[in-house]
A and B are shown apart, each in its own frame.
Chain A
């Protein structure tokens, strides 16, 4: 069974929710990414989303975009990224990648190397639903999850179609706009989640803007998981010396995962 399916099955049986932190591969360097993945797996991460640095990210705010730029300026290459990810084995991994990188490598070849490196699925935010059928077939052939996104402004018939094609889980974007920390999440989000719940049996995971324990508490009844990116990536940028990175990111992950699954 795919590791993402197994994870949600296990969490549902235990009445728990998935905490899904995001790490940029290669920021501040690939060794640090591997070490951080081990660290956060011991501090509450159930699944880790690995961001593939890309020169022209369309869905990311300034924090993640700057993180991608730092990694690329250090000369990060895809094959080095895959080689490093092979060293992470603590929790299931999902790739967050631009379709441009998949297209350049060739979709089948890309999925093969991603799967061989330990990824159980991918989120491809710049792949429109109408263009996703071919990649969805290639992924299904490999039992590799292709996680689609719905946003607050996705029309309902379209959201229903997206929910039907998505596998692994459904990525519910909490806000309009790009990734980045927000003070508050929109209250309508809970209505959207309740409606989506009637459309699909897939786990619903909420991301974009989620950055505080209060956000996580607001979502823990309605969602099956939360995804936190920019708040973590900001620590990758700000925490120095690097020896303190594991403690800093670990502490944040622990505080948010405890808000999601109180003891």
Chain B
């Protein structure tokens, strides 16, 4: 858990509601410690760009959580041969995030 010296939970933020969380569970911690999984980070701006790119180029509206994974997939793909296959798990769809993304882009799609 991200916390201060007293143990108060840190005020964290993410553009994605599902990632707006100050802790990491024991399974992820174990996978990281045993090097079974490599963890990385993605900024809000990068995730929003990937949300737009994936929607326009693939016709798939990713959840904002998934958009973070798309960013890393693009980083990996850039270092690979075009014939290589990179698999991304789409953990959720972005219908739920359309209004938030539109709001961040200054557009009103609710009315």
Contacts and interface: CB of A to CB of B under 8 A. Distances in A.
A103 interface: yes
A104 B5 contact: yes
B6 interface: yes
A56 B22 CA distance: 11
Interface residues of B, number: 7
A55 B9 contact: yes
Interface in B1-33: 1, 3, 5-9
A104 B9 CA distance: 11
Interface of B is mostly: loop
Interface string A66-92: 000000100001100000000000000
Interface residues of A, number: 13
A100 interface: yes
A77 B9 contact: no
A44 B100 CA distance: 53
Interface of B: 1, 3, 5-9
Interface of A: 54-56, 72, 77-78, 98, 100-105
> Which 4 A-B pairs have CB atoms at the shortest separation, nearest pair first?
A104-B7, A55-B9, A101-B7, A55-B8
Given A77-B5, A77-B6, A104-B6, 10 more contacts: A54-B8, A55-B8, A72-B8, A98-B7, A100-B3, A100-B7, A101-B7, A102-B7, A104-B5, A105-B6
21 contacts: A54-B8, A55-B8, A55-B9, A56-B9, A72-B8, A77-B6, A98-B7, A100-B1, A100-B3, A100-B7, A100-B9, A101-B6, A101-B7, A101-B8, A102-B7, A103-B7, A104-B3, A104-B5, A104-B6, A104-B7, A105-B6
